Each structure stands twice: as C-alpha cells, then as structure tokens.
C-alpha cells in the first residue's frame, strides 16, 4: 500500500500539479484501494467511486477494521451496489452511516444486477446494458460535480 502510493502520489503531482486533486475509481476489490486512498491520502483526492465493492472481503483477509477505514474518509464517495453486496454496503447501510459525518456521499443499489455488472456485465442483455449505462451516468455526474476540470 505505501509503496504504491509512493509511486502514485509523485506521478499525480508531476502530471497534474502539486495542488491538483483527482478521483479514484475501483471495481470489486478495487474499492478497497478507493477506501484506503481516500482515507489515508484524502488531501490528494477530490472523491472516490466504488462499483460493487468488496471491501468487506479484503478487510477480513487483512485483519483490518472496516469501520476504522471508513471513518477516516472525508471526501465524497459514490457507491454503486449490486444485489450481491452485503446490506452494509447498500443505501442506508453501515458504510453510508459511517460516512455521514461528512457530506457529498451517494449510495445507489442496482437490485437486479449481479456483482461485477459494470465492467463485465453481458451487454447483449438489455437490462444489464441499461443498468451499465445508468451506472456510468452516475459516475460521470459524480465526477463532474467533484472534480475541477481545467
């Protein structure tokens, strides 16, 4: 984790400028990276986006506290949950509750979608295709709201 950020943060500063803030986006286990990046290095990130997050799986494997990780986050988060995510990661769940001490968070559930639908859903299925498009619109809108485009 530290080694990755030691490589990533200088790259961001070099490419975007020392005062720039970017967004971080993660799918499945990538949401764990979003949570860590936004919690530990929140001053470098404007917001985080997690689609069908599996943070709960990785914290268990790594012996971390999901509550402690989420309580460190002070930048807006967009969380898009499928029907397969635990209730804690759906609208009104523990993750949203823990993040409510700061504003700008948005939790949305896609109750008919399987875990992983955004990057690897079957786009030949009209329902999946429609919900992938809807998820991407949420992501685009959230990023447009929280990022300064120069």
pLDDT digits (tens, 9 = 90+) for 2-11: 666 778 888 8
HSE-up of residue 13 (Cα within 13 Å, Cβ side): 11
pLDDT digits (tens, 9 = 90+) for 125-149: 999 999 999 999 999 999 999 997 6
Instruction: Report helix, strand or coil for 54.
Output: coil
Instruction: Report helix, strand or coil for 41.
Output: coil
Query: What pTM did the predictor assign?
Result: 0.91
pLDDT digits (tens, 9 = 90+) for 17-67: 888 888 999 999 999 999 999 998 888 899 999 999 999 998 888 889 999
Residue 93 gets which letter from DSSP? S
């Amino acid at each position: 984790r530290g080694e990755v950020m030691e490589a990533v943060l200088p790259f961001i500063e070099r490419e975007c400028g020392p005062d720039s803030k970017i967004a971080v986006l993660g799918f499945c286990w990538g949401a764990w990276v979003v949570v860590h990046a936004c919690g530990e290095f929140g001053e470098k990130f404007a917001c985080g986006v997690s689609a069908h997050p599996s943070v709960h799986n990785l914290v268990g494997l790594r012996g971390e506290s999901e509550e402690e990780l989420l309580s460190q986050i002070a930048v807006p988060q967009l969380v898009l949950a499928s029907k397969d995510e635990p209730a804690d990661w759906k609208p009104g769940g523990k993750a949203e509750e823990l993040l409510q001490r700061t504003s700008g968070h948005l939790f949305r559930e896609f109750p008919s979608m399987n875990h992983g639908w955004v990057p690897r859903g079957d786009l030949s299925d009209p329902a999946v295709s429609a919900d992938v498009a809807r998820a991407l619109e949420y992501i685009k809108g959230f990023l447009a709201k929280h990022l300064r485009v120069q």
